[in-house]
Amino acid sequence: MTNDLLYQISLTLVNNIGSVQAKLLLEHFKTAEAIFKAKKKDLSLIDGIGEIRASQIKAFDNFSEAEDEIKFIEKHHIQPLFITENNYPKKLLHCYDAPTMLYYRGTADLNNKKTISIIGTRSNTDYGKQITETIVEELQQHNVTIVSGLAFGIDAIAHKAAVKNNLPTIGVLAHGLDSIYPAQHKSLAKEMLLNGGLLTEFKKNIKADKHNFPRRNRIVAGIADATIVIETAASGGSMITAELAYNYNRDLFAVPGKVNDSKSLGCLKLIQQNKATLFTSVEQMLEELGWQEKTKTVKKQRELFIELSADEKIIIDIIKAKDAVGIDEIFLKSNLSSSSVAAAILNLELQNVLIGMPGKMYKIA
């Protein structure tokens, strides 16, 4: 146990010190320990803190709860991630309300360069299931981490598809790591730990209460490069996550559905409001994100796309055989008059087919 971790966890236990206030304090005092050891006057002078919050920091004495949490962390090999440390998910740092402390179990890299959150309704259709499974399967070759909320419906389908396709997948929880909600997903969670992980900002004994889910959703939205909404009603948890992703300036994609299907109304609404890009395929999404791998193409010479005269074709065939050819060799091999060679070369240069080099050498552009 370190003093650093003790004070870091304790900071999250102080009344009225949320993630925004903690960030303000850390910008000034740099460490959690320095915050607790600062004078009340110095604390109160910070914008956003004031007298009341400063008093609550100085009055805090519940360090035993933090010590108990550390014992739990050590026993279950949980990785604590404090917002100022290098192992903290970097993408979350760009969110103004990033969690002060995260708790993580797993093997997946939380800072993978390609991370996609997949979200949607708990009561999906067959169409939603099929689309989700297809998307994950097609992402298999692109080294993408799949993030979702381990809920029923689209979340679980995305996680299961990731496990099946050997893609790392991270479940973001609305409760502590001492339990799994819903309980039906305990076996899925165990599978995810082998090539993925479970992430939460909640300490042990914190249950999946209703007010915890929006807090969970901001992590789902903020930790990813992009979010795909598969199916959702016009309101609800998925729409909250989508709005958060949009406000965090993340790429947002929505899968279209039938206009009279209530489970597609949210996706259609996001597209209509220009908050989400219409999702048509994984390839289209990868292009939008700039992740499409460049395929090697056989270089085609420019002359294939323009009209060449008979003299120009002769000269091109001569130069093709070497990296560069001198004017004398062109005269010799072409059997053309000097005026014909000069006219053809000039025209080829004007069409950017040939490049003139020092020493009257020429090469294909």
Q: Judge whether residue 161 has pLDDT over 80.
A: yes
Q: Is residue 64 located within the same domain as residue 110?
A: no
C-alpha to C-alpha distance for 319 and 330, rounded to whole angstroms: 8
**Model confidence band, residue 361 (pLDDT cutoffs 50, 70, 90):** confident
Say if 83 falls within a structural domain.
no
110-142 as b/e: b if 16+ CB within 10 A: bebeebbbbbbbbebbebbbebbbebbebbeee
Instruction: For residue 248, give Cα distances in angstroms to 40, 102, 187, 220.
Output: 34, 19, 33, 11
Q: Is residue 195 located within the same domain as residue 233?
A: yes
- Domain boundary among the residues 243, 260, 289 is at 289
Mean pLDDT, residues 69-90: 95
Q: Judge whether residue 71 has pLDDT over 60.
A: yes
Say if 49 falls within a structural domain.
yes
Mean pLDDT, residues 2-11: 90
For the chain, percent of residues with pLDDT exceeding 90: 76
Residues in a beta bridge with 81: 102
DSSP labels, 228-292: EE-S--SSSHHHHHHHHHHHTT-EEEE----TT-GGGHHHHHHHHTTSSEEP--HHHHHHHHT-P
CA proximity to 20, closest of 215, 239, 238, 241: 215
Whether the Cβ atoms of residue 161 and residue 148 lie closer than 8 Å to each other: no
Q: Judge whether residue 321 has pLDDT over 80.
A: no
Q: Is residue 141 located within the same domain as residue 283?
A: yes
Mean pLDDT, residues 15-39: 94
Say if 240 falls within a structural domain.
yes
Q: Judge whether residue 350 has pLDDT over 70.
A: yes
Q: Judge whether residue 296 has pLDDT over 70.
A: no
Mean pLDDT, residues 268-273: 95
Q: Is residue 250 located within the same domain as residue 316?
A: no
Which runs of E-coded beta strand occur in the chain?
A: 79-82, 101-106, 115-119, 145-148, 169-172, 196-200, 226-229, 251-254, 277-278, 325-326, 354-357, 361-364
CA dihedral over 74, 77, 78, 83, signed as positive or negative: positive
Q: Is residue 271 located within the same domain as residue 145?
A: yes
Q: What is the DSSP letter of 47?
A: T
Q: Is residue 325 located within the same domain as residue 285?
A: no
Both tokens assigned to 345: 């070369």
**C-alpha count within 13 angstroms, C-beta hemisphere, residue 320:** 12
Q: Judge whether residue 62 has pLDDT over 70.
A: yes
C-alpha to C-alpha distance for 251 and 227, rounded to whole angstroms: 6
Mean pLDDT, residues 75-97: 94
C-alpha to C-alpha distance for 351 and 154, rounded to whole angstroms: 55
**Model confidence band, residue 104 (pLDDT cutoffs 50, 70, 90):** very high
Say if 95 falls within a structural domain.
no
Per the document, the length of the chain is 365
Q: Is residue 257 located within the same domain as residue 331?
A: no
Which amino acid, 358?
Answer: P
Q: Is residue 166 located within the same domain as residue 217?
A: yes
pLDDT, position 27? 92
Say if 10 falls within a structural domain.
yes
Whether the Cβ atoms of residue 350 and residue 339 lie closer than 8 Å to each other: no
Q: Judge whether residue 213 has pLDDT over 50.
A: yes
pLDDT, position 294? 52
Whether the Cβ atoms of residue 197 and residue 106 lie closer than 8 Å to each other: yes
What is the tens place of the pLDDT at every residue in 122-142? Answer: 999 999 999 999 999 999 999
pLDDT, position 298? 39
Mean pLDDT, residues 144-168: 97
Q: Is residue 109 located within the same domain as residue 222?
A: yes
The total domain count for the chain is: 3
Q: Is residue 47 located within the same domain as residue 170?
A: no
Say if 88 falls within a structural domain.
no
Q: Is residue 263 located within the same domain as residue 191?
A: yes
pLDDT, position 340? 85
C-alpha to C-alpha distance for 79 and 3, rounded to whole angstroms: 16
C-alpha to C-alpha distance for 238 and 67, rounded to whole angstroms: 36
Alpha helices in 302-352 (DSSP H): 310-320, 327-334, 338-350
Q: Is residue 255 located within the same domain as residue 148?
A: yes
Say if 230 falls within a structural domain.
yes
Average pLDDT score, the chain: 91
Q: Judge whether residue 302 has pLDDT over 70.
A: no
Instruction: For residue 169, give Cα distances in angstroms to 33, 198, 228, 315.
Output: 34, 9, 15, 58
**Model confidence band, residue 293 (pLDDT cutoffs 50, 70, 90):** low
- Domain boundary among the residues 50, 71, 92 is at 71
- Domain boundary among the residues 289, 315, 334 is at 289
Say if 93 falls within a structural domain.
no
CATH code at position 280: 3.40.50.450
**For residue 99, cis peptide bond before it (omega within 30 degrees of 0):** no
Can you give the pTM of this predicted structure?
0.78
What is the tens place of the pLDDT at every residue in 107-118? Answer: 999 999 999 999
What is the tens place of the pLDDT at every residue in 240-264? Answer: 999 999 999 999 999 998 888 899 9
CATH code at position 328: 1.10.10.10
Find the domain containing 247 and state its range.
Answer: 104-289
CATH code at position 39: 1.10.150.20
